[in-house]
Structure 1
Amino acid sequence: MGHDVIRVGGAPKPVGAYPHARRVGSLLFLSGIGPRVPADNSIPGNVVDADGTLVSHDIEAQCRQVFANVRAVLEASGARFEDLVDVTVYLTDMAGDFEAYNRLYAEAFAGVDACRTTVEVNALPTAIAIELKCVAAFTS
């Protein structure tokens, strides 16, 4: 059984000592993926004050970017959105962000029959409002 470590140039660099994904047999495990822009590591929709303190975020911009980042890791790994079997979503503001996130998720994941769990967390490792943890299964 192969244990392939996958690092993707077209996805944001991990914020720690871990790969973007790892394939074990027919399963592909993605590390937590956030909405940072791969080209410059910026976080779309974040507004900071003069001291650099986060003032607000745009969950729609972050959703679009994190979904694109997940797609990039899947494609670089030889998988597709349709291969997803389990998605765990972490939000930092369930009350404020769930409605927009849920709508955008339904659009981006149309035709994907993955199980999904959404939980609220106090914080994520960087100033992001959403992170996805995914598992895909290869059919061949």
Structure 2
Amino acid sequence: MRVKIGNPETVPAPPNTAYSHTAYVTQGPMLYVSGQIALDENGDMDAPGDITRQSEVIFSLLERILAAHGAGFEDVVNIRSFLTDLDLRMGYGTVRQKYFTGPPPTSTTVEVPRLFHPDALLEVEIIAAVP
């Protein structure tokens, strides 16, 4: 196994099942993906004000980026999420759970006052261990 995701017994378990404390990569190249926002093919914001739709667009972009490198969400070891309002995390989390069906990666989620596009509610970046 080249990636071991888990929670050491030496620290308290995460308060929910949406993330793991550690991801230990034993071999293979790493893929670092810049933060993605919900831009469509024309560079326009998809669904201003709709966190669920923006989350779906972002995860579709991430899925295509991973696939271009022979990887999938099971290879993601870290995810960083930037929300303009933490009260939106439930809508985001529902979409996110559709993509991470195995042990969840390590994770950081923070609220930020704004993102580089004024209609963006969410930006997501990932790190994956490429097969």
TM-score range, shorter chain: 0.7 to 0.9
Task: Give the corresponding residue for 2:68.
Answer: 76
SS state of the match for residue 32, structure 1? strand
- More relative contact order, 1 or 2 (CA 8 Å, 6+ apart): 2
Cα distance in structure 2, aligned partners of 1:81 and 1:70: 9
Unaligned runs of 5+ residues in structure 1 are 1-24, 47-56
Q: Which residue, 63, 73, 79 being the options, matches 2:55?
A: 63
Matched, 1:32 2:24: no
- Give the total of aligned pairs: 103
SS in 1 for 2:56: helix
- Taking only the aligned residue pairs, the percentage that are identical comes to 30
Partner of 2:12: none
Instruction: Give the TM-score normalised by structure 2.
Output: 0.73
| Residue in 2 that maps onto 1:104 | 95
- For 1:45 and 1:88, the matched residues in 2 are separated by 21
Q: Is the 8 A contact 2:82 2:110 kept in 1?
A: yes
Q: Which runs of 4+ in 1 moved over 3 A?
A: none
TM-score, structure 1 as length reference: 0.68
CA distance in 2, matches of 1:43, 1:62: 9
Which sections of structure 2, spanning at least 5 residues, go unmatched? 1-27
State whether structure 2 residue 93 is matched by structure 1 residue 93: no
Q: Alpha-carbon deviation of 1:72? A: 1.1
2:35 alignment partner AA: G
Residues 27 and 138 in structure 1, CA contact (< 8 A), matched pair in contact too: yes
Does 2:123 align with 1:131? yes
Q: 1: CA distance between counterparts of 2:50 and 2:94?
A: 14
